[in-house]
Each structure stands twice: as C-alpha cells, then as structure tokens.
Amino acid sequence: MRPEMIASLPIWLAGVLIAGVAVLGAALVEIVARRTIPLEMRQRHATVAAAMFNVIGTTYAVLLAFVAMLAWDGFNKAQAITDTEASLVQSAYQLIGGLGGPEMASMRQDIVAYARDVVGREWPAQARGEPVGEDEPNLAHLTQTALQLRPGTIAEGDLHRLLLGQITQLGSTRRERVFDARSSIPLILWFVLVAGGGISVAFGSFLGAPDLRMHLAMSSMLALSGALVLLAVVALSNPFRGDLRISPEPFERALAHMGR
C-alpha cells in the first residue's frame, strides 16, 4: 500500500492500521526470537547488544525526526502558497476595478470563475489524488485580455503594470500549488523509514528480557511510538489529501469578498 493511499483514509483508521501493524510485528518478532534463540544466549550478549541498540536507535530517531520536519515544512509551505494565491485573486479583482473600461466586467468574470473553479473542481480533484493541469482557461483568458489593454492615462498605465504583475505572480503561485499537490516524499525514503523501524524493533529482541510479557510490552511501546510519528509524516506529506488536508477557505473568503 502506497503512502498516498493511507493518507486518503480517515485519520483514525490510518492510525489504527499503522499502529496495529507495528505492534503486531513487534510481538511476532519477539515470539519468534524466543523460540529460535535461547534466552541464556541473548542474556550473555546483552551488554554488546544494548550498546549497538543505542547506536541503531539513535540513528533511526534522527532520520525519523528529519523526515517529520521535512513533511511539516512542506505542509506549511503548501498552506502559505494557498493563502498567497487566494490573496492574489482578490488583489487582481480590486485592480481590475480601478482600470474601468469595457473589458472590466469580462476580466472580473474571469477572476471570479477562476476562484470558483479552484474551489469547486480542483480542490476535490486534489483531495482524490487526481492530477490538475497547470493551465487554467479562465486565467489564460484573463491574461490574454490584460495583455491587450492599452491604458489611456499615466494612472491607468501604473494600474495596468500592477495588474500584469499580479496575474503573472498568480500563475506562478498556481503552478507551485499544483506541483505541491503532486509531489510527496520519495518511495525510497518511505522504505528506509519502515525498514529502519523494523530493524530497530527487531534488534531489541536480542536484549533478552527475562519476562516475555514485559518484553512484549516494551517492544510494543517502542513500535507504537515510531508508528505515531510515521502517521504524522504520512498525513503532513500529503497536504491536499486526508482529514488534515489544507482547506480552500482562503478562496472561499476571496469569493465572498468579491461577491460583496
């Protein structure tokens, strides 16, 4: 199962799935180790195993923290891009009103249609993991109309330059959002995270605690702690999917403002 599929599940179901697999795997590894490696042998090598376990655990913890921060940074970046794009939509709408002329109504219709298309079509598509094209017809028509304008006064010329700058920046911000919706943490990194967690938990079975129930409890808690962090990484690395996905509220606010 790919991480994107897990991200599309309800957060509680994804948490139960990841935590359940981790705890069950930890318990099975310990039971198998008990049956294949004598307890007395593991206790004889417990000192060396503990030293190596500290190195392996520290290395995995650093990797897990790095990936978690990477996912958190990407989520915040996607949120900032969404806010910026919605702000540019509203700003362009206001600048169009200052230009006047027969093209004003058509251009305002284009910018409103663009915002509605983002909320009504693109956001649900991104939530389903479907690709969204980098080009948008309403924005393309708005750009073409703005390029054909010929301001009659110096003031209108200044507003025209500002409008062109806003539209250009809007197109760039849109492409960033579309790219962020498609990109995620590479599969090789997911493999390293899952395999590293499995190795860390499995290596703990070499320590050889005398009581099986106590060792199962400790191994389960270790696996559960890593699974919870992994769940956060899965949720944050897909900012436009799942229960924690970014909301289109900034565009809805912009549409409400333009409607007034």
Average pLDDT value for the chain = 87
Contact status, residue 77 vs residue 180, Cβ threshold 8 Å: yes
Q: What is the pLDDT of residue 4?
A: 67
Q: What's the pLDDT tens digit per position in 72-95?
A: 999 999 999 999 999 999 999 998
Contact between 85 and 246 under an 8 Å Cβ cutoff? The reply is no
Q: In the chain, what percentage of residues exceed pLDDT 70? A: 98
In the chain, what's the furthest Cα-to-Cα distance? Answer: 92
- The reported pTM is 0.82
CA dist 242 and 150 (Å) reads 46
Tell me the per-residue pLDDT of 161-213, one tens digit each, with 9 for 90 and over.
999 999 999 999 999 999 888 767 788 888 888 888 888 888 888 777 778 78
Indicate the domain borders of the chain.
Answer: 3-259
**Could you tell me which of 39, 18, 51 has the C-alpha nearest to residue 223?**
18
Dihedral (CA of 110, 114, 116, 121) sign: positive
Contact call for residues 201 and 61 (beta carbons, < 8 A): no
Examine the pLDDT at 124 and tell me if it is beyond 60: yes
CA distance 188 to 73: 19
